[in-house]
Chain A
Amino acid sequence: MNSSITGSPRHDRVASRARGASVLAALTTVLFISFVVAAALVVDRSNSDRADAIEAGETTAVADVISDRMITYKELLFGVRSAFRLDPDLDHRQFHSLVEDLAPNSRLPGIQAVGAGTYVTQAELDEYERRVAASTAAAELDYPPFEVTPDRVGDEFVIVDFVEPQIGNERAFGLNAITGGARTNVVFEARDANAPIASAPLFLISDEVPQPAIGLVLARYRDGAPLDTVEQRRDAFEGTVYGTFRMNEFLRGVLRDDIVDDILLVDVASGELLFGEPGGRDVSSLDPTDPQVAEFEIAGRTWMIEIDHGTSPLSTTERALPVMILLAGLTVAALLTALGMSVQRSRRRAEEAAADSSDELEALTSAAREGIITVDESGRVVTWNDAAVEIFAWTADEMVGRNARQIAPHENAGSLSNRFVEMLAVGPDEDDERLFSIEAQHRHGSTFFVEASMSRWSAQGRTYITAFVRDITERVDAERRNRHTSNLLKGVLSAATEMSVIATDAAGMVTVFNRGAERMLGYKATEVVGAKSLADFHVPDDLQMRARQLEVDSGFDALVARARRGKAQTRTWSYVRAGGSLLPVEVTITPRRDDNGEVIGFIAVAVDITERLAADHQQQQLLAQERQMVAKLTELDQAKTDFISTTSHELRTPLTSIIGFTELLEDDPAIEDDSMGRAMLDKISRNAERLLHLVEDLLMLSQIESGAFQVSKRPCDLDRVIRSAEESISPVAKRAGVDVRLELADLPELEADAPGLERVMLNLMSNAVKFTDAGGTVTVTAASIDDGRAVEIAISDDGIGVPREEIQHLFTRFFRSSNAENAQIQGSGLGLSIVQTIVERHDGTVEVDSVEGRGTTFTVVLPTTVSPTPDRQEVTP
């Protein structure tokens, strides 16, 4: 098994546990190491304490040795004092012997001199000096002449008058010891103490190269004097005995060489070095608490000794102990850690293996299409797989640990419990698997059916039941639907009395013949099913024809050929009823296929279309009628147009003769002299013209009335139109004695009905002429306006005009102004109406302005075709 289903939660848990263990191990190791380190430190500390103690012990021992040896020197002084007490007149020869006997150099290493001093006052000084000088001379010991040094100033003197050996100590002989400094201090201290007192480090005068030395001084008192108090002592003070010794030699004589080299000896009070090599250190900073350092009293002075032990007093083994502890401890820690890690790893591997197999199991149950639900003995859900989630909509988190009861609807919960209990109660030998179906409840409340197979098993002393659950809703639904459909079908078939449903097998034999078919065709189902073919109900000729069309064998094939190939085919046929009568039907034939798509039969649904045919027929009749009517109306229309045309023709023809012959007569030379005759001809002619004008107006009016009046717009030369109209009116104008003037500007192109516009011009000019007296003028102006967007034509006269209140009526049909009536001006009253109509058809306007007695102006505005441009080209006529 491949053990890396990494990333699964189980593995994550294993990993985190491992991490936890590692952390724990690390902590333990750290603690252990800390403990080891602590132990090592403790041992080290103890070692160092021991070392200190040893060292301190050694130091103290050395100090004691020094102290002890100092006693010898003290004894010396006591001895010398005793000698002086016994013989106050001790002379120098005796002193010399005494000192020699004491053999200082072997017993008292370092002794520089042994001497004595006498306390003398200033008064006694001279006497003293003489006496001592005499004594020394008498001794014959090669003493230098006795002399008090450095001077004889002062009240008191303590003069060194004995010193042995003389050699090397010559300068001391006769020296006043209390001239100041350490020497003086020690003398006074000794005087006060009645005990040997050591001085601060001295640098002996005798020395060429100063070495530290100590003076030990014991005071001499008057024999028999009380010496209990300092006062008494001072009072009894007679002099001193002293010894000076070099520290260097002293110590070398007292201690082993190996120790002496490690010693630093310091006089505490003065802070001065008594012995040793400080090596640059400040000797006053010696710390008495340091185990290598000891403080001790020597003859009234405090000394500090340091012994630099250098090497540890402890043995190598002892010293190594902390390190060994540390190393051992670390080694142990490392070993333990390694061991722990190895244990950890193998544990982890085991855990991962377990996790892997759990993961696999989980994957299996996840992938399972069936819901897998495991419950324990009390009915609590232990596992709930993904499929269960899908089926019930409860999630694993929601179900695990809860009672499984809630997946059964309330009323069925009991039933589920029963099964469950039953399951648990199954004996060990009995078949412990069960299969059953039950109604379950979806989380959202709806109920549905499931099939479950339960099995019981045990693990670790516990009993579990696992159910494999399948949602059988679909199956149940499908079954229901099937039943439903088949019922529906039956219902439909029986109900459909208006439709004939005939089902056949693949060969055409009738298998179903419904009520509708019975009714429509007049056969009973029992007669037909299994006995007749679908083709039997069709007219044979029809089938033959169709068969020819489709190029198949006639009969049933002709019916179903198309349906067999495609889906449904609808066609009109005639069914043959029982009895032979025909029934027009529309038939839809559908193939029935099995699951593989093979045709296993046909269904022919037929609808009686008798009524429909009748309706169609009726519709066609109506249609024909409509067409007739339309034709008639068109005829009427045509007739109207023809009428106008005919009438026009009929009216014009006689006028042609009248006007024509009249003209001929006018031209006949014979009439030249007959002025009366000419006048009569003129009247005939004028009236004929008038009649013609009237006819044209009437015809135009009837055209407008019938709607036959059309304006056909074409590019029109307005200039020519106006001039043409003027030409027509010219004879009339001449006869009336009216001057017609044209003032035409450059006129733009116009889309217009030229004859129509000519009529307009003619009518307006004619009116103008009629309403103007002889000698008057009619002016026609035309120009483009509004940037070439329109043309304005004005016809003005200076005639009789029209009363103001009548202006609005001018364009009314048949209206004649009162002025016209009064002036007996002839007219039909149609002219202006016609003008208005034609102008309006050109999207133009016509207006009139008139002043009675002054004149009238008609203004026609017609829009042009051309859009306005600043520079207009000249329109060539």
Chain B
Amino acid sequence: MSKILVVDDDTDICELISFKLSSMGHEVVVEHDGEAGLAAAKAETPDVVVLDWMMPRLTGLEVCVALREDSKLARVPVILLTAKAQEPDVQQGFSAGADDYIVKPFSPRELGSRIDVLLSRVRS
């Protein structure tokens, strides 16, 4: 039972992810902009963070960088989940500190598997 923070400005997608992850047995915290997401991360200390990139106030990338700078949250696995599908975007994402990068549209099943992998990694 892990706490997963999901940050995306599209509410439908948030519901989609939330539904899937809940059905997997995870606790899900949802925010819709970067700032709120960062604050929530600091407050809740999630086990995994799923970040959209293109968001108002703070972009996913900025949030990722901020998380890495926070000593408490630096080790938390971050998945970038974004429609930005170009090679340079992917690179940028990983440079910012993301552990994984999934392109939209995505398969919820796949997302679930990847999160499990990350969680198992953290545990060990």
| Bound form: Cα–Cα A692–B104 in Å | 10
Count chain B CB atoms within 10 A of each CB in A664, A692, A755 and give the residue with the most.
A664
Q: Cβ of A667: which chain B residues have Cβ within 8 Å of it?
A: 108-109
Question: Provided the pairs A663-B108, A688-B105 are in contact, do residues A653 and B19 lie with their beta carbons within 8 angstroms?
Answer: no
Q: Cβ of B103: which chain A residues have Cβ within 8 Å of it?
A: 652
New contact pairs (6) apart from A656-B13, A657-B13, A661-B16, CB-CB < 8 Å: A655-B105, A656-B83, A656-B105, A657-B16, A661-B12, A664-B16
| Bound form: Cα–Cα A648–B87 in Å | 14
Asked if A9 CB lies within 8 Å of chain B CBs, one says: no
Is the CB–CB distance between A656 and B16 below 8 Å?
Answer: yes
Q: Cβ of B20: which chain A residues have Cβ within 8 Å of it?
A: 660, 664
Please provide the 6 A-B residue pairs with the shortest distance between their CB atoms, ordered closest to farther. A652-B83, A656-B105, A649-B83, A656-B104, A660-B16, A659-B105
Contact of A755 among B12, B87, B104 (CB under 8 A): B87
**Residue in B closest to A691 when the chains form the complex, CB atoms:** B105
As a 0/1 sequence over residues 630 to 646 of chain A, the CB contacts with chain B under 8 angstroms (1 = contact) are: 00000000000000010
Is the CB–CB distance between B84 and A645 below 8 Å?
Answer: yes
Is the CB–CB distance between B10 and A659 below 8 Å?
Answer: no
Query: How many positions in chain A have a CB within 8 Å of any CB in the partner chain?
Result: 21
**Residue in B closest to A660 when the chains form the complex, CB atoms:** B16
Is the CB–CB distance between B104 and A655 below 8 Å?
Answer: yes
Q: Cβ of A755: which chain B residues have Cβ within 8 Å of it?
A: 87
Chain A residues packing against B (C-beta within 8 Å): 645, 648-649, 652-653, 655-661, 663-664, 667, 688, 692, 712, 753-755
**Residue in A closest to B85 when the chains form the complex, CB atoms:** A648
Contact of B107 among A649, A663, A712 (CB under 8 A): A663
**Residue in B closest to A711 when the chains form the complex, CB atoms:** B87
Q: Cβ of A663: which chain B residues have Cβ within 8 Å of it?
A: 107-109
Is the CB–CB distance between A649 and B84 below 8 Å?
Answer: yes
CB distance from A748 to the nearest CB of B (A): 22
Q: Cβ of A661: which chain B residues have Cβ within 8 Å of it?
A: 12, 16
Supply 8 A–B pairs (Cβ within 8 Å), ascending by A: A648-B83, A649-B82, A652-B104, A659-B107, A661-B16, A664-B19, A664-B20, A692-B105
Contact of B105 among A645, A652, A664, A753 (CB under 8 A): A652
| Bound form: Cα–Cα A656–B17 in Å | 11
Interface size bracket, B side: 20 to 34
| Bound form: Cα–Cα A688–B104 in Å | 12
Is the CB–CB distance between B87 and A660 below 8 Å?
Answer: no
Is the CB–CB distance between B54 and A660 below 8 Å?
Answer: no
Is the CB–CB distance between B108 and A652 below 8 Å?
Answer: no
Q: Cβ of B107: which chain A residues have Cβ within 8 Å of it?
A: 659-660, 663
Q: Cβ of B109: which chain A residues have Cβ within 8 Å of it?
A: 663, 667
| Bound form: Cα–Cα A653–B54 in Å | 11
Is the CB–CB distance between A657 and B83 below 8 Å?
Answer: no
Q: Cβ of A648: which chain B residues have Cβ within 8 Å of it?
A: 83-85
Q: Cβ of B12: which chain A residues have Cβ within 8 Å of it?
A: 657, 661
**Residue in A closest to B88 when the chains form the complex, CB atoms:** A712
Count chain B CB atoms within 10 A of each CB in A645, A658, A692 and give the residue with the most.
A645
Q: Cβ of B82: which chain A residues have Cβ within 8 Å of it?
A: 649
Question: Provided the pairs A649-B54, A652-B83 are in contact, do residues A660 and B108 lie with their beta carbons within 8 angstroms?
Answer: yes
Is the CB–CB distance between A664 and B84 below 8 Å?
Answer: no
**Residue in B closest to A648 when the chains form the complex, CB atoms:** B83
| Bound form: Cα–Cα A659–B85 in Å | 17
Is the CB–CB distance between A753 and B104 below 8 Å?
Answer: no
Question: Provided the pairs A655-B105, A667-B109 are in contact, do residues A660 and B85 lie with their beta carbons within 8 angstroms?
Answer: no
CB distance from B88 to the nearest CB of A (A): 8
CB distance from B104 to the nearest CB of A (A): 4
Is the CB–CB distance between B13 and A660 below 8 Å?
Answer: yes
| Bound form: Cα–Cα A131–B108 in Å | 215
Is the CB–CB distance between A653 and B104 below 8 Å?
Answer: yes
| Bound form: Cα–Cα A660–B20 in Å | 9
| Bound form: Cα–Cα A664–B23 in Å | 10
Q: Cβ of B106: which chain A residues have Cβ within 8 Å of it?
A: 656, 659-660
Is the CB–CB distance between B10 and A652 below 8 Å?
Answer: no
Count chain B CB atoms within 10 A of each CB in A648, A649, A692 and give the residue with the most.
A649
**Residue in A closest to B20 when the chains form the complex, CB atoms:** A664
Is the CB–CB distance between B16 and A652 below 8 Å?
Answer: no
| Bound form: Cα–Cα A688–B106 in Å | 12
